[in-house]
Amino acid sequence: MRITDLKCAVLGGSPVVRITTDAGIEGYGQAEHFKSYLKPHVLFYRDFILGQDPTDVERVMLRIRRLGSFKPWGSAVSAIEMALWDIAGQAAGVPVYKLLGGKVRDKVLVYNGARRSPMAGQEPEHYAENMARMAEFSEGFAIIKQGIGFHSPMPDLVEDFYYGESLDVYHQTERGLLTEKGLKHVVACVEAMKDALGDRVGLALDCGPGWTVPDAIRLAKAVEGLHIMWLEDTITGDYTPYVLAELYRELTRSTSTPIHTGEQIYLRQHFKPLFEMQAVNIIGPDPADIGGIAELKWVAEYADLHGILMAPHGTGDGLIGLAALVQAAAAMPRNYIAFEYPVGRPDWWYDIVDGLPNPIVENSYITVWDRPGLGVSLNKTAASKYLEADDKDFFN
């Protein structure tokens, strides 16, 4: 079997990869829905993989992996890798998890980071109300993640929040030392959310990046009695193209609150210092950024050797990305906690993807399906009407 073409279309903001073969098998991958600009980056790799055997996934990836980088640029490589595994699974007649070592669990726990309820404001009572609403969602999420601090509107809407200046550029560019008032406000919002949830739903906090190390330590210590699931991306993360493991180690050693990072990190090599320095308690790589499904599994195994837990990121990965997360999570070792449940955006994505269960999530779990490959496919007739003018040949 040989690769005959690599195409990329933007569907509702999501770059979608389609790899075709001379055996008539095709595979799909997807990047996050807020990365519509990635199409030319995906197509850059076309000539590197044409004529290759797609079932030799690692051999194909060796041709392109070194040409990616930290979020967002590794997303193009990651989406291609997803599509290759989709083909390999179909060719073998087995779900991708079988090719990753087999199923460890029959259903995978997910947490809510993407199924949102509008916020009425930035005061503690608004955070409590918002959390109470999300706790009643039909999915029955066991864990809810909420943005605070520099991963929220607080720096712009809370007066005298920090000693810093906004660059007014997308991707949370604020950074600086919090005022005493600002830190107290964050802690009050966290306390209000925990009061609303009690001990029936876990609360995780997406914090930045942007915190100074002293402020991150103060926050972590202030919430130690609240049993927070984790503090995510306080110092680096999101669209930060480096790790700073030594700073995370200082934070982690200072507190009993679990510390988490990793969504922006590309390739296993960049997780090495986090693990070997015991710099964090939990990592959250994203299969749509780390380099793909197998890269996520490899990192999970290495994390497990160091006593570090896995809570993979996935908020914008879409429904093909959801399938990739299910396949990887099914095969991960027992350091797995839950992955961040992505939703289809716009809503018509649920009309163009075949193979998903209905409902997808029950009591915070997704039952692992057994169809070959990723186990989902695009309905070409339904999807075609949403193709942009320059993507009309995507399914040809």
What is the mean pLDDT, run by run of 10 residues, along the chain of 396 residues? 98 97 98 96 98 98 98 97 99 98 98 96 98 98 98 94 84 86 98 98 97 98 98 97 98 98 98 98 98 98 98 98 98 98 97 98 98 98 96 97
Q: Which amino acid does the sequence have at 172? A: Q
Does residue 31 sit within a domain? yes
Shared-domain flag, residues 243 and 369: yes
C-alpha distances (whole Å) from 393 to each of 7, 54, 386, 396 are 9, 22, 12, 5
Does residue 63 sit within a domain? yes
Shared-domain flag, residues 197 and 333: yes
Say what the pLDDT of residue 334 is. 98
Beta strands across the sheet bearing 365-367 = 339-340, 107-111, 365-367
Say what the pLDDT of residue 169 is. 76
- For residue 63, the enclosing domain spans 3-93+379-391
Shared-domain flag, residues 88 and 104: no
Shared-domain flag, residues 73 and 118: no
Does residue 181 sit within a domain? yes
Does residue 396 sit within a domain? no
Say what the pLDDT of residue 168 is. 78
The angle at the Cα of 258, spanning 160 to 162, to the nearest 5 degrees, equals 10
Shared-domain flag, residues 79 and 210: no
Shared-domain flag, residues 152 and 69: no
Give burial (CB, 10 Å; 0-12/13-18/19+) of 35.
buried
Say what the pLDDT of residue 257 is. 98
Say what the pLDDT of residue 172 is. 62
Shared-domain flag, residues 161 and 67: no
Shared-domain flag, residues 249 and 386: no
Shared-domain flag, residues 192 and 252: yes
Shared-domain flag, residues 128 and 21: no
Shared-domain flag, residues 105 and 7: no
Does residue 45 sit within a domain? yes
**What span, in angstroms and rounded, lies between the C-alpha atoms of 45 and 135?**
43
Shared-domain flag, residues 125 and 16: no
The angle at the Cα of 307, spanning 301 to 308, to the nearest 5 degrees, equals 75
Q: Which residue in this structure is represented by tokens 């520099």?
A: 150
Q: How many domains does the chain have?
A: 2
For 245-261, b/e burial (b = at least 16 CB within 10 A) is bebbbbbbebbebbbbb
Say what the pLDDT of residue 218 is. 98
Say what the pLDDT of residue 171 is. 66
Does residue 367 sit within a domain? yes
Phi first, then psi: what are they for 142, rounded to 5°? -80, -20
SS3 364: coil
**What span, in angstroms and rounded, lies between the C-alpha atoms of 249 and 259?**
9
